[in-house]
Chains A and B, each alone.
Chain A
Amino acid sequence: MVGIPSRHKSLVLLAGVILLQVVLLAVQIKRDSQGRLIRVWTVGVISPFQRAGTQGVGSIRGIWNHYFALQNTSRDNEQLRRENDALKLQITQLQSKAAEADRLAGLLNFRKLHMEVPMVGARVIGASPGTASVTIDIDRGQRDGIKRNMGVITPDGVVGKVIEAYANTAQVLLLTDKDSGVGALLADSRTQHPVGGTGEPLLVMKYVPNDDNVNDGERVVTSGMDRIFPRDLPVGTIVEIKPGNPFKQIRVRPAANLDRLEEVIVLLTLHPLELRTESESASQQPPAANAAGQAPAARP
């Protein structure tokens, strides 16, 4: 029997492995299946490290920024310095906690204003491992009621949507991803145009005819037509308008700081939602006891 020459064995293996992966790609496209099992295993291995890393870095960063950076300022007296350092360390921890508390208070306040909407807060524990997609990982998953296609926001504005929920974590596709989009409208004229990502920090507003009046600095809010996000959530602000063919080229700066996300809110419903305005909410304050707990179930 004629064997394969040893120098060609690796070429044969290469061809086989590439063919296997091409078939894998084809199967995913044909069946709209995304190899969930492999992803669950990989995420299961990496996510505990991410969770631990995020917590560790948070503590170290707080101490580094506020303690070590200031250490050289108190050399005069060793005794005083020790006391000083101990106090600074305490302050550092308090500052770090205060900053976190501010952010959490923002989230809590948002929840209080919208008690009718079921939502859960989550901490960001990871980012995209490559440039092919713009995603983040959060430390809440199916056990917290998170499912695919749920909207993700911050009090500043829209963040993206859940594209995969695992047991304890979930993956969120950010608005800036080129496959991402949100139903939006111009806050002043109330005309509706979808907004999508390009893989870059700015978003684009699509299909705006050249004769439509759009102003630089105009706010863009959700239209609610995508049935993922409630109406009138901030999406961003228009920062660039250029005439194009056949539509204007409009760039939008996201309202939420998508480069520096630490905590987000997941809207725990797949039904269309309505958020009350702040004035409506103020006249109808919910009981404080419910504020920290999970909001009631979705009302279709």
Chain B
Amino acid sequence: MTVALSVKEIASKIGEAIPQTVTSVADGSITVTSQHLFQVAKFLKETPGLEFDFLVNISGVDYLDYIEVVYHLVSLKHNHSLVLKTVCPDRDNPVVPSVVSLWRGADFLEREEYDLVGVRFEGHPNLKRIYLWEGFQGHPLRRDYL
């Protein structure tokens, strides 16, 4: 059975390793600041005992005040899972560091979120639109599009 790890423990572990990154712990997910996302993800992937080697999903959700990017992580070795979130308060220019160098599967997932929600992933080697054509204006999955 895939165990959803206790978020308070993980949050405290992250807090010891990389201080002042976790902003909130709620409801089965950990929220970190967007500048430190890459370091937290690297910590989660490489710490023995955690070893989240499998990225399941990246989603971008547009709450009207801010944009949230949600990462679902799973460890195939230990069979536990975690939800990692980050928040971009600036809706006109949301920037999040890319995790492609940690998990190659983030390649297409990040391109899709860039295309449809508008989040820019810094460090992505090929950030182009994937579904819509080049030159399309706007990001359709935002709540204020149409």
A and B associate in one complex:
no
Binding site for A on B (CB under 8 A): none
